[in-house]
Structure 1
Amino acid sequence: MKPRKMWTVALLAATVMTSVAACGSGDDKAGGDKIELRFSYWGSDSRQKLTEQVIKKFEEKNPTINVEGDFSDFANYYEKLATKVAANDAPDVMSIEIRGLGEYAGRGALADMAGKVPTTDFDQQALAAGNIDGKQYGIPSGVNAFSMLVNKATIEKAKQQVPDDKSWTWDDWINLAKQISASGTGLTGAEYNYNPAWLQIFAAQRGEKLYDGKKLGVSADTLKAWWGIHQQLIQTKGSPDAAKSSELIAGGVEQSPLGTNTGATGMWWSNQLGGLSKASGQELTLLRMPKTKEATTGGMFLQPSMFYTVGAKSEHPAEAAKFIDFMTNDPDAAAILLSDRGLPINAKVLAAVKDKLPAVDQKTLAFIDEVRSELGPIAAPPKGALQVDDILKRITEEVVFAKTTPDAAAQKFLTEANAAVAG
């Protein structure tokens, strides 16, 4: 559902909900003087189990506070959250991606967290991404980078070599994928996706921004070149066809070519290395993204995996901040969550749990350390970015399914996307 339509539907739904719905379960129904907090988040079954463990640990340390986990799968998360916010029944603590931070902050749904959570030991560049118009609406849960993941064993099975990620180009990736798919091994060389992070990196390599203030900064030529990569992968059979690719994208980690050992390369967030490795049962490796031939920058960036935010109407903002403080600054929380929500944002906490990280998380940390100096800053996109992502996915599908031309698609995307961020 489109975010603007989502908000409209949410407002309509709110009219039939109880008029006394209160943000944050303010009735403290857990008994006596205990405070009740609700914490909304999305994810997999494994994340839900980890979150339940970390909530239990928080409650042990804070016996006067109970935390109710409000869990959802990602596909339905924002629709459910919008409905609750519109009904004045927002959770006290909400997980929000960077692309949604401006949307919720712009609608007055979030509290300014400046000075409410200790952030001295945070990665300050990542922390700054949660600041909009001088207010700290989001506290990062951790950090990650959008990267290329490869299965070396699969590549070698196809009698190909793992590329040098310091110098490879998009043409190199397309050719490698083509060779792997044509190797007679039954393997697929690559998987593409619609993630705007890929477009953002690609645009940066061409000297452009995805967003330039409150308008799109990416050009029609860059969009056409980006869609050209999708088309070349399909045409050369380096990736599955459009229909199969859309099915795989919807299937997530477990059904991806990398996760099922039927593919060799794919773009994912670095904190997803663990889930993909577990699904595949094989060793996977993080690489830098390919570049355009004339690029002077790799375009990659360090991004908060998600933000913890506090509802503007929460009846317990101090306790909500205390929960976020625990999640980001307490080594006991980090020892449970590890890199599930990105590598810990607090440098001292990361150092305290570093030796406890599983081997796959150690690899993620080593990769981030290796490329950190190459990673550019990131800022929260303007209100409407959630809708822009939906527009990008829809129009990209029209291109790869050959329902429209890249020329027409570029103009359509820029028109619709600029209208979305303009409000």
Structure 2
Amino acid sequence: MNKEEYIATAEESLFHVYNRFPVVFEKGNGVHIYDTDGKEYLDFASGIGVMAFGYNDGEYKQALMDQIDKITHTSNLYYHPPMISAAKKLCQVSGMDKVFFTNSGAEAIEGAIKTAKKYAYLRDGFAGHEIIAMEHSFHGRTVGSLSVTGTEHYREPFLPLMDGVRFANFNDLDSVKAQITDKTCAIIMETVQGEGGLYPAEADFLQGVRDLCDAHDILLILDEIQCGMGRTGYMFAWQKYGVKPDIMTCAKALGAGVPVGAFALTDRVAEHSLVPGDHGTTYGGNPLVCAAVDKTLDMMENRHITDHVKELTPYFEKALDGLVAKYDFMTGRRGMGLMQGIVIDARIPVGSIVTKALEAGLIVLSAGGNVLRLLPPLVIEKEDIDHMVEILTGVCDIIS
């Protein structure tokens, strides 16, 4: 089939809840991806932060093929080696004590919410506790994760959602203090807001929230689904600040291409929250995805990915700052590591830049309504950044 036939067939069968671009991707190699017409694209989106090592990595691919030859599913009624190894390594690199594997980031958020509510229930002897979340945050599309997502237009069609959620302003400690009540059981936030517009937490704010949690026996939940797994130059962004959460969620690059997430927690929380029968998943943590997690964590360490990101970040930031200086409709840059955004003036729809870049062979994203978001594979090199700038410059010259 040609591209048009693929798309027509897809629209006959797929529920139309995505406004997909008119491209049919077929294969990838390194930091490039190819459509069914054979056109090459430089990928600065990495499947929304998933493909940490790019495409067709031989070592990663072999690990999955080896596991397929053994077993892909057992259910969580039994142990299996990939889960045991992956859990141990994730605890080691995160500094957390216990892990629960899920199928996605949204499910990790669900598990974190349930854990916090059960912790407070056991502590106080009653239900009905509240959670403080951040405005402009994004935590997922399920009812629970949507309830703590701080963008009203995502929530409005699905009201009523989960009760007992209060919203504070990100990087505004007084706003958080004002939302605390005797029912507050958790404060949840992204360490670096992604969908909300690439806003890193300010150090004083994050430490201040940690101090509030300690003072009131409130659990701090840090969402590292997009900003974790080496993207900021640290395995998890909170490690840059030295502010450890009670519960941490991760997904996306955790499996570098397979659907897997996790929430990790401290021993204190694990010992006083969920018990057998409180939570579960059929597919979560199956042998195939845990083999991917296990290999991903090995490759992160052996290839010194966080060092590579730290080394490349100044070059990446300088390249983006150069674009901002050149075009008057670009008004600023923000982000951390290889998670960067360029703020676009309201008179230029950011979607038009994303579309024209795709036509020119560059995959980029948008965020926060007016931010051009760049989430390249963590294995990019300086020449890939140069190529990105070259393509984006051509696009911007046309727009301006």
Please tell me the TM-score bracket, short chain as reference: under 0.3
Normalising by structure 2, report the TM-score: 0.27
The structure with the greater share of residues assigned to helix is: 1
